[in-house]
Every structure is written in structure tokens, then in C-alpha cells.
Amino acid sequence: MNLNQLSSGDLIADRRVEYAHMLADSGDHAGAADLMGQALELAPDWPAGWFRLADYQEKSGHKEAAIAALRKVLDLNPDDIFGAGLKLAVLGGAKTPDQPSSLYVAQLFDDYADRFDKALVEKLDYTVPEKLAALIAAHAGKDRFAHAIDLGCGTGLFGERIRDRVDHLEGVDLSANMLAKAADKAVYDRLAQADLSMEPESCGLFANGQAASGNRADLVSAADVLMYLGNLDSVFVIASRLLADGGLFAFSVEDADDAGAFVLRPSLRYAHSESYVQSLCKRFGLALIDIRKTTIRNDGGKPVSGILFLTRKTA
């Protein structure tokens, strides 16, 4: 979310916020925090302002003050559209949440949709769609899929790479703006909005226990999606419900090494361990076909390590 587009509703406070932003851009985060504090004296119930203050406090080395500001954000905005709960956990002010706020994730990608493809492919060297499609091809050969469902389809980067071997391709995403971009590409036969962090009965994909799309899929994918979820139980339940017996589930995670089941990184994305994912596959009747560790993108000029999984639903 671009906080610069959010007004406090007070002209004098907004003017001080502009000056604070200028100071922050020049590297004076302590001065920016001081001005933000003055602005918030005039607009004390402005959650976006408190979130910006937390950022300035953190960057000026005042972690405890940043934590206090983030707690104020959550008091004012318990639905957490700003992702303050994630940031609070990264700073050590709270336990790592099992899931981020769905409103935060939806807003993040709604804001990102217009520049998503260009940013990921050209600037961050994002390679998951190509590598996951290649992994599927390595084991499925020239076989076609009758029905594939792309979970967290985004703008359709993975869908573009699998379209030529799928008879009926569906895309699912939480962000309405990402779905609109996917629709513009005319890659999918059907698009639907759904929340993968919720139980199947509430996520938007099922009606009376049955998939709204009808026949079960012989391929379900989740390319670069699971890093926006912590605990993965819900998405594994959803994938197993969508899959026909013998169907493939192909997905990627950021690699947490041996740091536990999952960890929340400063990027506010989750990383998952190979052992955790393997335990989920065993629980949900998914036989491991292939596991590949690889670089999935760059972040801050550094490579991000990930793991690609290809599994098959057992009868």
C-alpha cells in the first residue's frame, strides 16, 4: 500500500507528513519520526500515520518505539490492512502469526498488479513459472491435462506456461486486480476469487463440499504463493479436495533450511522447511515425485533460495 496516498484528514498534519517524507528520503529518519509524531498529535486516530511512524522509528534505530507504534496501528485497525502484525513479529514484538491478514495480502497485490510482471520478470529475475512448468514436463512428458487449477494465479505467469498442455485451465486469486490482469491475457477458461488461508467451506471455491468448478482437477499448481501463508494446512486441504486421485500438485516455497516448520522473514514473506512440507504431503496423501532446490528470484540484489515440489495424490 502506498502510504503517501493516504491523508490524515487534517491539512496541517498532512503538511508535516510531507516534510517528514522529504526528511526520510534524505536519510534523516529521526527527524522524520519527530515530524510524524507532531502530525499524529493532530490526527491521533490515523492508522496509516502510525504505521509510517513505525517505519521511521525502526530506520532510526528506535525498535521499541517502532513496536509501540505498530501496536497502535493494530488497535486502530484490527483487520490489519497494513500488515502491522507481520512487521511486529519481525521486530520481536509479537509471536509469528500462522497467517497474515487476508486484507493485507489482497491490498498488497491489488496495488502491485499494474507493475507485477515487469517488476518480477525484468527486475527480480523471477523464474518459478518456467521452472515449475519444466518440472511438470519432466515427469508428465507430452501428456495433456484435462483440468488444471492454478492457485494464486496472479497475472497468469504460470498459466501462460502451462496453457498449451491443458484442456480446461482455471485461475484462482485473492486479489481482484490481479485477476483482472489475468483476464486481459485470455489465458484461463475460468477465473475465481478465493482466499487460500481459509477453510474449504469458507474460501470461495466450494459449494456444499464440492468444487464449484465441477470435475476434479488432474493438475493443481501454486507457483510462488505459499510464501504469503505461514501454516499451510488450509491450502493442502483445498488442493487435496480439488485433486482427482492420481492428480498432480506442483508448488514452490521459499527455503527455510532447518529453521523450523516456517519462519517469517524481514521481507514479510514466509519460508518453509523441506521437512515440514514433506510431513504435510504425508498427512494429506500426496506422494512425492520430485523435489528441487533452486534460486527463485532476487531480492535486494541477493538470490532467494526456494524449493519446487511435484506430488501425486494417492487413491
Q: H or E stretch including 265?
A: none
Residues of the chain with pLDDT under 50: 4-5
What DSSP letter does each residue of 72-123 carry, written as one string? HHHHH-TT-TT-HHHHHHHTTSSPPPSS--HHHHHHHHHHHGGGHHIIIIII
Cell 505467469 appears where?
157
Q: Is 64 exposed, middle or buried (0-12, 13-18, 19+ CB in 10 A)?
A: exposed
Long-range contacts of 65-68 (CB under 8 A, 24+ apart): 65/33, 66/91, 67/91, 67/92, 67/93
Q: CA distances (Å), 297 to each of 80, 130, 131, 178, in order?
A: 27, 12, 11, 20
What's the pLDDT at 214?
A: 58
Give CA–CA dist 42/37, Å, rounded: 9
Output the nine-digit C-alpha cell for 83.
500488515
Closest CA to 99 of 184, 220, 215, 203: 203
Long-range contacts of 81-86 (CB under 8 A, 24+ apart): 81/1, 81/107, 82/1, 82/47, 82/48, 82/51, 83/108, 83/268, 84/51, 84/54, 86/264, 86/268
Give CA–CA dist 130/252, Å, rounded: 12
pTM listed for this prediction? 0.91
Give CA–CA dist 83/59, Å, rounded: 17
The structural domains of the chain, ordered by start, are 3-95 (1.25.40.10), 109-313 (3.40.50.150)
What's the pLDDT at 212?
A: 57
Output the nine-digit C-alpha cell for 263.
519462519
What's the pLDDT at 143?
A: 86
What's the pLDDT at 4?
A: 47
